[in-house]
Chain A
């Protein structure tokens, strides 16, 4: 895919070219939004809002890392949604059902029901611990540990300094570690480092 060419065409008004970019990046954008928001409906709204905003602001993209530029927009959209949520607290009624459906694909054919159940419980525990973090620490942990961005990219996406990223990352890890300490026994063997056994 010629990313630069698609961007040029999209800047000229070619919506079809832009939609090709959307299809390429939407899974990443949605997962980041999901890890930040913690529930699917809010993540969907934030992702849609981010793509609309990105199209409108496409002419302000002056080259460089388009993915990082897109993630900055979705991060800001998530912050806006979080502020709206704090002003109007909502309860997600279908979260459990939706989680079961979305985690169904995680089941391995070689895995028994207990293994699958353990894996799902672990995932749910990690997600709950992630949601217990402050917003800025959670965003940093998601971008670093889940999405794999380095500190400089995270600083650019979140518009903070490198020292702030280090500080947030350290605090997020410590809190997550303390949160997961109680459920350490739930870690299945498959999720441990090979060198530990």
Chain B
């Protein structure tokens, strides 16, 4: 193999010289010799080179042989019987055993790789799983932090809204929504009576897409949250309270309802609670709903947060750190073969030095 690779990189002239030397020494095969003789027949220069090389070889062969200066026989009194070398006698078998061990080790490693790690690989999968769990925990923590930030801001606004609600529309049950806002940190459907809803729907088509602009006001993650119409009153552009905001509110309602309704206690009991008219809500600049919305938006996050509060992060959906996985049989075999290969290889090398 090494000779083959060496021949590939050898210059053409060197190959020609080697072939000529081998021809003079009679080391070419029949086919190679015939091919070379054909080349010689066509090349007088090559013929001269071959002749010169033959002469040189002959000269070397005729070098005189030296006389032996003395006999190299051994003194029987000084030398005992030749030592027995069990390792030397086992040398051929050790070489075969080393080669077989290497082959089996390669097969074992290949089998392990082909089975995608198998059981032995599961030991390594525990690490990435733990890393994934940590990543999930971090993302959850980030989500919580992000939710808490707007929640904190929303709380401040909610306090203002509550203050305004209590002073302006106490008869209209504004306290109810305020109370609801306080009591129910879930989403609240401040639905108008059906007529009002109808009006809102009509105006939704013409109303600007302001409610959507309101959404960004709430630093809410794209979670499936259904926000009540009050949310839309967060329009900062001062759309007409009567219609535009309503329409915008409705628009937001429809849009966000389409996202994904999140079941919540507030939503379930909404039909039973007095609805809050949008107008007063709008007068309030929709401050009221904001905390609701905020709270609502916080709800899903809070859900996770609750989970955080309640217990461990892993309680939600984080995989539990896996217990140490025992080493597979295949891995044990690989280790044994590797150790055996080292031992046999060392023995073969040591024995070869002695030979």
Q: How far is the CA of A102 from the CA of B84 in the complex (A)?
A: 40
Are the CB atoms of A15 and B68 closer together than 8 Å? no
CB contact between B74 and one of A19, A29, A122 (< 8 Å): that residue? A19
Are the CB atoms of A150 and B74 closer together than 8 Å? no
Q: B67 in the interface, Cβ–Cβ < 8 Å?
A: yes
Q: B354 in the interface, Cβ–Cβ < 8 Å?
A: yes
The verdict on A102 contacting B21 (CB below 8 Å), with A19-B73, A148-B61, A191-B59 known, is no
Interface centre among A16, A127, A163, A193 (most CB of B within 10 A): A163
Question: How many whole Å from B160's CB to the nearest CB in chain A?
Answer: 92
The verdict on A26 contacting B54 (CB below 8 Å), with A59-B85, A106-B64, A151-B27 known, is no
The verdict on A26 contacting B67 (CB below 8 Å), with A11-B82, A141-B60, A163-B2 known, is no
Q: A164 in the interface, Cβ–Cβ < 8 Å?
A: yes
Give A17-32 as 1s and 0s: 1 = Cβ < 8 Å from B's Cβ atoms: 0110011001101110
Give A57-81 as 1s and 0s: 1 = Cβ < 8 Å from B's Cβ atoms: 1111010000000000000000000
Q: B168 in the interface, Cβ–Cβ < 8 Å?
A: no
List 7 interface pairs A-B (beta carbons < 8 Å), by A numbering.
A13-B81, A60-B88, A169-B25, A170-B21, A177-B56, A191-B59, A193-B54
Question: How many whole Å from B54's CB to the nearest CB in chain A?
Answer: 7
Q: A167 in the interface, Cβ–Cβ < 8 Å?
A: yes
Secondary structure dominating the interface of A: helix
Set of chain A residues within 8 Å of B67, measured between Cβ atoms: 27, 102, 105
Q: A13-B82, A177-B56 are in contact. List 11 more A-B contacts (CB 8 A).
A: A15-B76, A22-B72, A27-B67, A47-B72, A48-B72, A57-B82, A57-B355, A161-B2, A163-B7, A173-B57, A174-B17
CB contact between A102 and one of B22, B66, B92 (< 8 Å): that residue? B66
Set of chain A residues within 8 Å of B317, measured between Cβ atoms: none
The verdict on A40 contacting B69 (CB below 8 Å), with A60-B355, A174-B17 known, is yes
The verdict on A151 contacting B25 (CB below 8 Å), with A22-B71, A102-B66, A193-B55 known, is yes
Q: How far is the CA of A22 from the CA of B69 in the complex (A)?
A: 14
Are the CB atoms of A173 and B53 closer together than 8 Å? yes
The verdict on A30 contacting B58 (CB below 8 Å), with A13-B80, A59-B85, A163-B7 known, is no
Q: How far is the CA of A183 from the CA of B86 in the complex (A)?
A: 54
Are the CB atoms of A23 and B355 closer together than 8 Å? no
Are the CB atoms of B81 and A196 closer together than 8 Å? no
Interface of B toward A, CB cutoff 8 Å? 2-3, 6-7, 14, 17-18, 21-22, 25-27, 51-76, 79-85, 88-89, 91-92, 354-355
Q: A56 in the interface, Cβ–Cβ < 8 Å?
A: yes
CB-nearest residue of chain B to A180: B56
Set of chain B residues within 8 Å of A26, measured between Cβ atoms: 68, 71-72
Interface centre among A11, A55, A170 (most CB of B within 10 A): A170
Q: A187 in the interface, Cβ–Cβ < 8 Å?
A: yes
Q: How far is the CA of A12 from the CA of B84 in the complex (A)?
A: 10
Interface centre among B25, B80, B354 (most CB of A within 10 A): B25
Are the CB atoms of B74 and A167 closer together than 8 Å? no
Are the CB atoms of B68 and A126 closer together than 8 Å? no
The 5 closest A-B pairs by CB, nearest first: A163-B3, A13-B81, A60-B88, A145-B60, A15-B76
Set of chain B residues within 8 Å of A34, measured between Cβ atoms: 66
Chain A interface size band reads 35 or more
Set of chain B residues within 8 Å of A102, measured between Cβ atoms: 66-67
CB contact between A27 and one of B18, B65, B85 (< 8 Å): that residue? B65
Q: A135 in the interface, Cβ–Cβ < 8 Å?
A: no
Interface centre among B54, B65, B69, B72 (most CB of A within 10 A): B72
Question: How many whole Å from B179's CB to the nearest CB in chain A?
Answer: 96
Q: How far is the CA of A103 from the CA of B80 in the complex (A)?
A: 38
Set of chain B residues within 8 Å of A164, measured between Cβ atoms: 3
Set of chain A residues within 8 Å of B18, measured between Cβ atoms: 166-167, 169-170
Q: How far is the CA of A133 from the CA of B315 in the complex (A)?
A: 80
Set of chain A residues within 8 Å of B56, measured between Cβ atoms: 173, 176-177, 180
Q: How far is the CA of A174 from the CA of B76 in the complex (A)?
A: 46
Set of chain B residues within 8 Å of A52, measured between Cβ atoms: 74, 79
Are the CB atoms of B74 and A170 closer together than 8 Å? no
The verdict on A167 contacting B89 (CB below 8 Å), with A13-B81, A174-B17 known, is no
CB contact between A10 and one of B57, B68, B82, B355 (< 8 Å): that residue? B82
The verdict on A163 contacting B61 (CB below 8 Å), with A60-B91, A144-B25 known, is no
Are the CB atoms of B74 and A15 closer together than 8 Å? yes
Set of chain B residues within 8 Å of A31, measured between Cβ atoms: 65-66
Set of chain A residues within 8 Å of B14, measured between Cβ atoms: 170
CB contact between B89 and one of A13, A60, A123 (< 8 Å): that residue? A60
Set of chain A residues within 8 Å of B22, measured between Cβ atoms: 151, 166, 169
Are the CB atoms of B61 and A146 closer together than 8 Å? yes
Q: How far is the CA of A38 from the CA of B6 in the complex (A)?
A: 31
